[in-house]
Structure 1
């Protein structure tokens, strides 16, 4: 038998196996589809979370309050020191500008600030931090370094907000990894079990193949292809489900969270990169499950 004939036989046998036990394979395909659908939603949520962190991270600023008695030359020297230490850009905010900004933020109550006998706000430098320094540890280290500089009366960078946001993001990522690992393990076990049933149902055919001299690889190949087909079909169902979810529920979610996630929340749910990942993951799940079933329960 030529190589092309063998390959053709393997695929026909695998397709016949799917038709021979449709209910059993339906369970495996559905399980893979559910797992990949959940993984797709998790990946999309992670993508949105990364976008949120990036947008908020881009707004992280360290406000350095300066002593009023500093001369313009000293302030300029301080600005250069801060930019060198942080790798970012520092902007001077004079007391009048700071008071006007506060009045705008207070709205109608801001008119009361005009009655103050003098401006109580000090000059400050708003420092935009480089991306690699926006971690809680990096910001804390930078704040400690800046506080030691002469002429600095205070440093503020929203420490609690940054730490909470980072902790939430870390918890969501770790939780997603653990949940995906559990679902992945359960999916492999179910796929393996369904193929065991398929192998048992075709045991007489396998015995005949061995009697006429079929090799182990020849007998096992169709079952491995069956697992691959299960995974690819499951990935297709998952992608269809994600697309339908995006069409029916996506606009409502995008409208609901647009004030947090911004315009990126309206991106399509099924992106080309995600589709390739799910197809590859589905094929991998099917192959791993079939390999376990063949290796442990097909004693040929």
Structure 2
């Protein structure tokens, strides 16, 4: 182990010497990593925000429970509220009387450009709306089960949460995320292949040097280390442009959209720390791709020459 650490300066020097000696091939391999990581950056930015969108969407879904007109006494309403609170996965229960429901309805009509004056005749005693409860759940995946339990209670007219549309949107987000992950995996394998070929060319160019090291009894790790460092450096070189791209492009996008994607329901992740995490992931992936590519290449060569 001590010998390994003592030899690190030599390995680093040998790695950089090889990179500059085969600069064209090194740039070609780094370019492949760059293309892969730029696309990976786009995917990570999209996936990170989709995860945030999904989380916000799941947590914003509430069950709107209409109370039957037969339940009008305050004592009956309080009893029903207590029963709702005992249902598993119910986080909170908020009562909204029919006048508050009417006010919310009028706000919706105004926001959609409708004629609010037409509905003003339904205020007060003429209000046809029902008293309601607004229910939040602790686990969004259990919302349908909670809804079914609510419907079992006496005095409940209906319980809705717009489940179909919310589930369709969440499913679409998940499909985009999964499809992007498969695409990035394919690109990563391509980058590993290109770096492996670059390291292989370097190995062939230094086969006499490697043969001498093996003849004098050099350990395999001593022979492998410079090539693995070279692969990591190439991977790091390939990550520089994607990191700059991530900071500049995402910052511009965030500011131009005002921090939200069309609606307040879909807030974008702020540049920091989200962008910083993405950049660290890009550098880590670039160096890992370089390390894996060089490891397989030099391993194959040493086995073949044994």
Give, in whole Å, the separation in 1 of the partners of 2:197 and 2:275.
32
Residue 83 of structure 1 is matched in structure 2 by: 85
Aligned runs of 1:177-216 on 2, under 5 Å?
177-216=181-220
Segments of 5+ residues of structure 1 without an aligned counterpart are none
**Normalising by the residue count of structure 2, what TM-score does the alignment of the two structures yield?**
0.86
1:75-134 CA distance string (max 9 Å, x none): 11221222232331111111222122212322352222233482211111111222x2x1
Segments of 5+ residues of structure 2 without an aligned counterpart are none
Residue 133 of structure 2 is matched in structure 1 by: 125
The 4+ residue runs of structure 1 with deviation greater than 4 A are 1-5, 247-250, 253-256, 260-263
1:249–1:27 distance in 2 versus 1, CA, 3 Å: farther
Residue 297 of structure 2 is matched in structure 1 by: 293
Aligned length, in residue pairs: 296
1:233 lines up with 2:237 in the alignment: yes
Aligned runs of 1:151-300 on 2, under 5 Å?
151-246=155-250, 250-254=254-258, 257=261, 259-260=263-264, 264-265=268-269, 267-268=271-272, 271-298=275-302, 299-300=305-306
Residue 115 of structure 1 is matched in structure 2 by: 121
Give, in whole Å, the separation in 2 of the partners of 1:223 and 1:262.
46
The answer as to whether partners of 1:242 and 1:270 remain within 8 angstroms in 2 is no
Residue 97 of structure 2 is matched in structure 1 by: 94
The answer as to whether partners of 2:91 and 2:135 remain within 8 angstroms in 1 is yes
The answer as to whether partners of 1:246 and 1:268 remain within 8 angstroms in 2 is no
RMSD: 2.5
The answer as to whether partners of 2:63 and 2:134 remain within 8 angstroms in 1 is yes
Shift of residue 183, structure 1, vs aligned partner: 1.4
